[in-house]
Structure 1
């Protein structure tokens, strides 16, 4: 009887211990964690986070960590604007937005946005390197653009590798929502049509910042809903759905199609961390995003959690 009770106790303890670990508290980050719209990657033992450049400064912000927890800023990408940007976006902001970094076919590909706030005269550009640590970035030019005549906004690009190893690009913000298009694996530029995969019924109810990851037969689409960029008054939140096809349809946990406003909320913030969003899932076991720190005047900072998957294959943290 004592042995049986001990076994029961140990079993309960293990269940409780796992439940506690699966709640995945925020990772304790130190150093410089100031970032907006983060995308994370590991090269060797070194971690890098790329984010929107600081306001009124040039380029893309880059943070580095040698252990994954203590971060420091390193030189920006595009300390000087590229001249060809103004051919497509004459009045673009000095900083570049929402970079996405991925390793594919022997290179690190960095998609980034050039735009101005509230406008859909925008472009997604591409730069790449064989090694982030080298600091040598090649300009790969224009990927996709939008104008005021389009019903979409060419920002917030996200490189997606499908189950067959082929590249796609999802992107979009406000207007008619999130799009996805196949990429040529040699040029990493679009080839073929645009597919619509997520939208909100009212343009004031924003959907943006797509991030797609493939796991066990499903493509999981993570997006950000509502208002960013307003400090502690931001209403940003992370939502998700999934599909067996990369071009959709994507359904949330309640069976609602994300093309018609569906999306299960993953993170809506808390008393300290307001408006979490512009998420990036890495290796299906980490999720990074920014949130506004109510204990530091609404400064946008990097948050990282372990990402878990429940018995039905839905994400949690």
Structure 2
């Protein structure tokens, strides 16, 4: 039976997203937080607890008021892209609760163009992170993780989700991405060598059912640790604040496209569900060409 307790609605939706929709743990946490925020807002707005029946009567004016409050600095100060994601989560939650669809138009979001780093910058970033590591095996770990992002186009969550079962390595790595979509990714010799060097040094071994990449105390490596190391390295190298672990994946895609890869092949390598997600990289390449033109052409 569906939960009636208002406090159980958001957790029940989160469980549905994880179990039935196969959404990532990050998405589940974010969407559940949105559901809790909406119910808290409505409870304050109406002066009474919000249950399933109350959600069914939510109107467009209340949803606009909620989004307006979220845009306020005291409510988070979210921008258009975040407001659009928030509205998407709200629509899903209300549908789960049995409410009729609310006719609220989302904010216009201009598609962002990923900012790739150059091959030299990508390698320098990985080297700097490794050089700043506390010990030799952690340096090997960080080098291997960042090469997987730039050399194989993995998402950070995909890289950290690998287990010892991938060893011994072949020429192709099988990766499980978003919504349990499985894809095959070719491994460059340099990437294979980096993973094998790390595997030979990690103090906790590489059991088939255990995380391949470990934290300093032996637990699964946290993505926040990788992001923190990249922030420190990019400051040393004076790189843009947009130089993040995910930017390495963007760079992988952009550089392949610039060297003649077709969109369909790139879609498969990146694990995108639709071609439209991959087409953004054509804008990246065009932007790069315009930048080269402006800086190099005598009449630009």
TM-score when scaled to structure 2? 0.22
Which is greater in Rg?
Answer: 2
Whichever structure has more helix as a proportion of its residues is: 2
Whichever structure has more strand as a proportion of its residues is: 1
Greater relative contact order (CA < 8 Å, ≥ 6 in sequence): 2
TM-score when scaled to structure 1? 0.22
